[in-house]
Structure 1
Amino acid sequence: MTAVAVVGGGCAGVLATRELLRNTDDRVVLIEPDEPGGGLAYGAARPWHLLNSRAGAMSADPSDPGHFARWAGCSPDDFLSRTEYGRYLRSVFSDISSSAGDRLVVRRSRASGLSATGVLLADGGEVRASRVVVATGNPAPAQPAARPDHPDYIADPWAKGVLEAIPSDVPVLLVGAGLTAIDVALTLTAERDRDAPITAVSRRGQLPLTHTAVAASPVGPVLDDCTTLRDVVRAVRAEAARAGDWRAVVDGLRPYLDQLWTAFTPDEQEAFLRHLARPWECHRHRMAPTVGARVATLREEGRLEVRAGGVRSISAPPAGGLLVELEAGVQWFGAVVNCAGPGRLPGAAGSFVRSLLDAGQARVGPHGLGLDIDPYGRLVGADGRVQRDRWLIGPLRRGAKWETTAVPEIRAQAHNLSIPVE
C-alpha cells in the first residue's frame, strides 16, 4: 500500500484526501496543525461573510454537483455563508474519516520541509511517504511598501480579534478594494454602530461587481480566430454586447481560461497582469447579491468610500494612529488594515514553500504568482527537472495556470491526483 502525504488541511487538502481515498488504494497522511476543513477562507469567516459562488458550484464531489446544496438544504442558486461551507467541508472530512479506517492518518503538526523519504515536521518528526501533495493555499498577502511596524497597522485582518479591537469612532483605511476589503468593511459595520468612515484605496479604485439573483446560462465567446490577447479581449467584448449580460460571457469563458493563459506569450501574460487582471477579477469574482446591496448602502450613507490611487507613505504621530499620504493628501486614520491580494513569490512564500525553494525542490513559477509545475501539476525543481512524486494543487498553481483558486478547479485537480499520468 502506497503512502501519500497531503500537506495542508484546508479546502484543497480535504478534497485531495477525499479523492485519493475514494479512487486509489493509497494510505493517506494529512498533515495539518488545526482541524481539517477550516483553512483561512472558511476557518476565520464570520456569519455575514458569504460565498462569492452559488451553492450549486461548491460541491466537494466532482460526480455530484448538487451535493453541497442538498447537504445545506438550499437552492443551487443560493449564496450561503463561508462558515456554513466550512461546516460542510468538516462534514465531508468526517465522512471520509469514518469510512477510511486505518487508511487515513491525521498528523496534527506543521510541515517544515521535504526529505528524500517524505515530509519533515516542525515537531521533529517525519511522515514517510512515496508521494506528496502540496495543498497549502495562497501565498501571504502583498504588503504596501510603506508598511510600518506599528500596532495600528493590521497586516493580517484574519488574525483573531484584530478587527474587533478597532474603536468604532476612528476612521479606518483599507489598503485594497477586493473581496477581502468587502469582508473587513462588513465586519467593522456588522455588530456595532460605527460613526467614523471607512476608506478603501486601490490602484484602480474598483470594487468587485455583483452577481444576479438567478444565474444566466453561460455563453461561450467564439475564440477560433483569436491568436493574441488583443483578439481575445475584442471577442469577449463583442459577445458581451450581443448577449446583453456580461456575466453569462464571463462564466462561459471560464472553461477556456487555462488554455488561453498558456497560449499567451510571456509578454502578453505580463500585459494582462498589468492592465486587465484587476478588471477581470472584478467581473469574475463577484459579490453575492445581498453583499452587493449592503455595500451599496454603506457607500450611499457615506460610511464607505472607495478611492483610486496608492499609499505613498505611512507615519506614526506621537498621539497615536497613523498618518497616511494618499494621492489626495495626508490623512489621519485610527487603523490601517491590509486587504491586498496574494503577494508574489519568493517574498510571499510561507515557511513550508520557502523551505522547498531554499532546498531547490521547487522553483518560482511564471511572474512570481506561484510555483512552477509540469502540465500534470507536478512540481518542477530548481534544476528544471520534474519532481515526479511531488504534486501541487490549489492557488499556488497560478502563473503556470490561471483559473486555479476556486472550488470547481481545485476539485478537478484533486480528482486528477488519482489518475496515473505515465
Structure 2
Amino acid sequence: MTRRTVAVVGGGCAGVLATRELLRGTDDRVVLIEPDEPGGGLAYGSARPWHLLNSRAGAMSADPDDPGHFARWAGSSPDEFRPRAEYGRYLQSVFADISDSVEVRRAHAIGLSATGVRLADGTEVRADGVVVATGNPAAAQPAARPDHPDYIADPWAKGALDAIPSDVPVLLVGAGLTAIDVALTLTASDRDAPITAVSRRGQLPLTHTEVAAPPIGLALDDCTTLRDIVRAVRAEAARAGDWRAVVDGLRPYLDELWTAFTPDEQEAFLRHLARPWECHRHRMAPSVGARVALLREEGRFEVRAGGIRSMSAPPAGGLLVELEAGVQWFGAVVNCAGPGRLPEAAGSFVGSLLEAGQARVGPHGLGLDIDPAGRLIGADGRVQPDRRLIGPLRRGARWETTAVPEIRAQARGLAIPVG
C-alpha cells in the first residue's frame, strides 16, 4: 500500500504541533512548507526578553499526553510565566526531535492545485492531503491609515520599533496584548515621552494571579440564550469571589456554546461582549500587569477610549491625529490592533484559496469556514476532502481556537480519519 503524503503549510506553533501529531499518529509522509525556521512564528520569533507568555508554563506543553513537558524542559514550576522567546526555542526543540522524519521545504506556498501545494519558486509539493496552519489573519488597520513612514503598520517587522525616537509621544492603535508588548519595548530603555493607547472601549487586558485557583464549573443546562449564559457567569463570579476561576472553568465549553448561539446572538456577542471577554480570558502575567500599572502611575502610559477620526502628516514630521478629545501630534503611530476580518485580512496563501473557490470566508469574517472535522468548505458549499484547517483561522466557525491547549487538541485530531 502506498503511503499518503500530507503537506503542512506553515511552520509556526500550529504547523509544528500538526506535524508532530501526524508523525506520531499516522504512517503518512509529512512535508512541512515554511520559508523560515520551523517553530519561530510571529508570536515567538520576534519576542524580546521582557515579553512573557500570557499563560502559565503548565498550560503550554506541546504534548497532549504530557501536560508538564514544557515546564520540565524550561526547568520551571507549572505556575510560572516564561519568556515567549524561550517558548519559541522550545517549539524548535520539539521540531528537532522529529526533524529526521519530516521533509522541510523552505519556500512560500502560493496556492493549491489538484495534486498538491504550489510554491513561489515554481515547483509543487505533491500531496494527498493538506493541513493549512498559517496562523492569524493580518492585523486590522484603522480607516484613517496614512501612507507615511511614521505610521507603523506592523510592530513586529524587524527594526520597526527601534526607529522610533525616545523623545517623541507615541500613539498605539489598540489596547490589547500587542499594545502591552509594544509599550514594554518602548519603555525598556530611558523614555520620558508619553505613550497613549486608544481603543473603542479603552480596556486593557486584566492580570493573572500569582497562583491559579482551581477552575469552577458552571451549571448551564437551563441556559438557552446568550443572555442566560451571561447572567449565570456573572452570578457565579460574584459567588466565587475570583472571576478568573469561573472564566477558566467555562473555557472547555466555549466552542459548544458558540456553535449553539444563533447568528444574531453571535453578532451581539461580537459587538458588545467580545472585548470584555478577551480582557478577562487573555490576561497579563502578574509581573507584566505590575509593570503596566507602574507606567500608568508615572504618567508614561495612558489608555483612552474612543476612535481615530483622521490622521494627517504635517511638513515637520510625525502625524497629527484627530481623537475624540481633539487633535494631537505624535512622533509615531503604531498599529496594535487585533486580527482583521476576511477577506481583506487574508494573507497571500489564504487569499489564493478564497480566490480559487477552494475555501470560503467563515461566519462573521473571522476565519475560514470548516465542517465539524476541521475540513475546509469551498465556495460552492462542498467540503474539501483531505484539506484541513488548524489554528486561529478556525475562529468564527469555532470560538476558542487560538491558544496552545486548543491547537494541540486540533493537531491530535488530524491523526483521526474522517469520512
The equivalent of 2:347 in structure 1 is 350
Counterpart-to-counterpart distance in 2, 1:158 and 1:217: 35
Q: Is 1:235 matched up with 2:232?
A: yes
Deviation, 1:420, is 1.1
- 33, 43, 58: which one aligns with 2:60: 58
Match for residue 252 of structure 2?
255
Aligned match of 2:94 in 79, 92, 98? 92
Say yes or no: does 1:45 pair with 2:42: no
Q: Report deviation, 1:416.
A: 0.2
Shift of 1:55: 0.2
Shift of 1:195: 1.4
Q: Pick from 212, 217, 221: which aligns with 2:218?
A: 221
CA distance in 1, matches of 2:318, 2:242: 44
> Corresponding residue for 1:392?
389
* CA distance in structure 2 between the aligned counterparts of 1:39 and 1:69, rounded to whole angstroms: 20
With the length of structure 2 as denominator, give the TM-score of the two structures.
0.99
For residues 82-113 of structure 1, the C-alpha deviation after alignment (integer angstroms, 9 at most, x for no partner) is: 00000000000000114x2xxx1000000000
Aligned partner letter, 1:38? G
For residues 376 and 47 of structure 1, the distance between their equivalents in structure 2, rounded to whole angstroms, comes to 38
Once residues 371 and 110 of structure 1 are traced to their aligned partners in structure 2, the CA distance between those partners, rounded to angstroms, is 20
Q: Shift of the alpha carbon at 1:222?
A: 1.1
Look up the equivalent residue of 1:18 and give its one-letter code.
Answer: R
Aligned AA for 1:197?
P
Cα-to-partner distance string for 1:325-379 (whole Å, 9 max, x where unaligned)? 0000000000000000000000000000000000000000000000000001000
How many angstroms apart in 2 are the aligned matches of 1:271 and 1:220? Answer: 24
Question: 1:171 aligned to 169, 178, 182, which one?
Answer: 169
Aligned residues: CA RMSD? 0.4
Which residue of the partner structure matches residue 68 of structure 1? 70
TM-score calculated relative to the size of structure 1: 0.99
Question: Are 1:288 and 2:290 counterparts?
Answer: no
Q: Residue deviations 1:65-98, cap 9 Å, x none?
A: 0000000000000000000000000000000114
The separation in 2 between residues aligned to 1:97 and 1:342, in whole angstroms, is: 31
**Letter of the aligned partner of 1:145 in structure 2?**
A
Instruction: Give 1:10-49 correspondences, 5 Å limit.
Output: 10-49=12-51
In structure 2, the partner of 1:319 is 316
SS across alignment from 1:389 = strand
Q: Percent identity of the aligned residues?
A: 88
Q: Which structure 1 segments of 5+ residues have no match?
A: none
Instruction: Indicate the SS of the match to 1:312.
Output: strand
In structure 1, distance between residues paired with 2:332 and 2:21: 43
Partner of 1:183: 181
**1:322 to partner: Cα distance:** 0.1
SS at match of 2:187: helix
Whether 1:328 and 2:320 are equivalent positions in the alignment is no
CA distance in 2, matches of 1:355, 1:384: 17
**Aligned residue in 2 for 1:419:** 416
1:136 matched residue in structure 2: 134
Q: Which residue of 1 aligns with 2:104?
A: 106
Q: Aligned pair count?
A: 417
**Residue 170 of structure 2 aligns to which amino acid in structure 1?**
V
Give, as a single letter, the amino acid of the residue that structure 2 aligns with 1:189. T
Cα distance in 2 between the residues matched to 1:377 and 1:2: 19
